Amino acid sequence: MAAEQGQILVIATAAVGGFTLLVILTLFFLITGRCQWYIKAKMKSEEKRRNHLQNGHLRFPGVKTYIDPDTYEDPSLAVHEFAKEIDPSRIRIERVIGAGEFGEVCSGRLKTPGKREIPVAIKTLKGGHMDRQRRDFLREASIMGQFDHPNIIRLEGVVTKSRPVMIVVEYMENGSLDSFLRKHDGHFTVIQLVGMLRGIASGMKYLSDMGYVHRDLAARNILVNSNLVCKVSDFGLSRVLEDDPEAAYTTTGGKIPIRWTAPEAIAYRKFSSASDAWSYGIVMWEVMSYGERPYWEMSNQDVILSIEEGYRLPAPMGCPASLHQLMLHCWQKERNHRPKFTDIVSFLDKLIRNPSALHTLVEDILV
């Protein structure tokens, strides 16, 4: 009897022990499994967040993102990723139209098999260059080749496998916007000028959506074609500023085109699409004044001090009040208060659709 009781006790203990172990094991698998599921889900959402947020910009699925060619270990890989190699026999150089830091800028023709010849501008890299110069020169093509928009200068391709090294882009019959406007002082209607500004804003909206910050937006870096279409050009990050005769060295050692640059970018190099919006306001002023120099003959130091004290450029003669208001909006000290390029495009579109809003001039309000 005692032996029987002992047996029952052993069986009962084993059953309870076994059951407890089973519960513990089930709980263990459930918890670790959940943990892993949780970790995986967290990683996925983090990846999603990173894809949406690049260069501090909210990214949207389906919108292409700009890739900095400097992130490629071998820059020649970057250029061939984004630019077509052109056989030089397809290029006919006609005449020299200008000089860049790297060599001449020429106009000419490009023959594409099965298509008719198109007019092109050809930037050449002069002989005897260093590897670094070649890399800096081709960086512009690696950037431009990523864009596809009617208000961004179009890259046709590059010649890198023979000398001279060349960058071939679409030809813009009227050249740079600043000199074009100076040459045609007073010749356009306000609607035509607003049309040019709308084009530039649309190109800038495209760039900012891609996460690209221009840093040197100015009328001298906009090109104009025979239909008055304006296109943003001069890409290349630091190189652009090295080339720009307007860029001056700041106390922090950077080279910056002071008159076109937002205060936070001058003070601590905080370049962003919001600092591009400040520069856009200056371009508006250049356009409405037919290529006048911003802040006239004031020195760079005086410009910096005046802006800091709250001074802003007055409306150019004949400038509609609504356009000067938009400029002032672009020149807000607090960068988050400046309009986004998408707001600028819709505002200008509304003005074009309803031109009566352009009739009030700043002079009329002041009288």
Q: For every residue of the chain, which 3-state class applies, written as one string?
A: CHHHHHHHHHHHHHHHHHHHHHHHHHHHHHHHHHHHHHHHHHHHHHHHHHHHEECCEECCCCCCCCCCHHHCCCHHHHHHHHCCECCHHHEEEEEEEEECCCCEEEEEEECCCCCCCEEEEEEECCCCCCHHHHHHHHHHHHHHCCCCCCCECCEEEEECCCCCCEEEEECCCCCEHHHHHHHCCCCCCHHHHHHHHHHHHHHHHHHHHCCCCCCCCCHHHEEECCCCCEEECCCCCHHHHHHCCCCEECCCCCEECHHHCCHHHHHHCCCCHHHHHHHHHHHHHHHHCCCCCCCCCCCHHHHHHHHHCCCCCCCCCCCEHHHHHHHHHHCCCCHHHCCCHHHHHHHHHHHHHCHHHHCCEHHHHHC
Quick one: which segment of 92-100, 211-219, 278-286, 303-311 binds ligand ACK (CB under 6 A)?
A: 92-100
In this complex, which beta carbon is closest to ligand ACK, that of residue 153 or of residue 313? 153
In this complex, which beta carbon is closest to ligand ACK, that of residue 287 or of residue 303? 287
- 97 is an interface residue for ligand ACK by CB under 6 A: yes
Alpha carbon distance 235, 221 (integer Å): 9
- 88 is an interface residue for ligand ACK by CB under 6 A: no
Quick one: which segment of 67-75, 76-84, 94-102, 251-259 binds ligand ACK (CB under 6 A)?
A: 94-102
Quick one: which segment of 13-21, 38-46, 67-75, 97-105 binds ligand ACK (CB under 6 A)?
A: 97-105
- 274 is an interface residue for ligand ACK by CB under 6 A: no
Residue 84 is labelled as binding a ligand: no
- 121 is an interface residue for ligand ACK by CB under 6 A: yes
Whether 349 is catalytic: no
CA 277 to chain centre: 11
Least distance in angstroms from the C-beta of 235 to ligand ACK? 12
Tally the C-alpha atoms within 13 A of residue 302's C-alpha that lie toward its C-beta: 6
- Which residues from 159-198 bind ligand ACK, rule CB under 6 A? 169, 171-172, 175-176, 179
- Which residues from 31-50 bind ligand ACK, rule CB under 6 A? none
Contact status, residue 220 vs residue 260, Cβ threshold 8 Å: no
In this complex, which beta carbon is closest to ligand ACK, that of residue 176 or of residue 289? 176
Binding mask 145-164 for ligand ACK (x = CB under 6 A): --------x-----------
Least distance in angstroms from the C-beta of 149 to ligand ACK? 15
* Marked catalytic residue, from 136, 178, 209, 216: 216
In this complex, which beta carbon is closest to ligand ACK, that of residue 118 or of residue 317? 118
- 98 is an interface residue for ligand ACK by CB under 6 A: yes
Least distance in angstroms from the C-beta of 171 to ligand ACK? 5
- 143 is an interface residue for ligand ACK by CB under 6 A: no
Least distance in angstroms from the C-beta of 108 to ligand ACK? 11
Tell me, by CB under 6 A, how many residues bind ligand ACK.
13
Binding site for ligand ACK (CB under 6 A): 97-98, 100, 105, 121, 153, 169, 171-172, 175-176, 179, 223
Catalytic center residues: 216
Residues in binding site for ATP? 123
Residues in binding site? 123
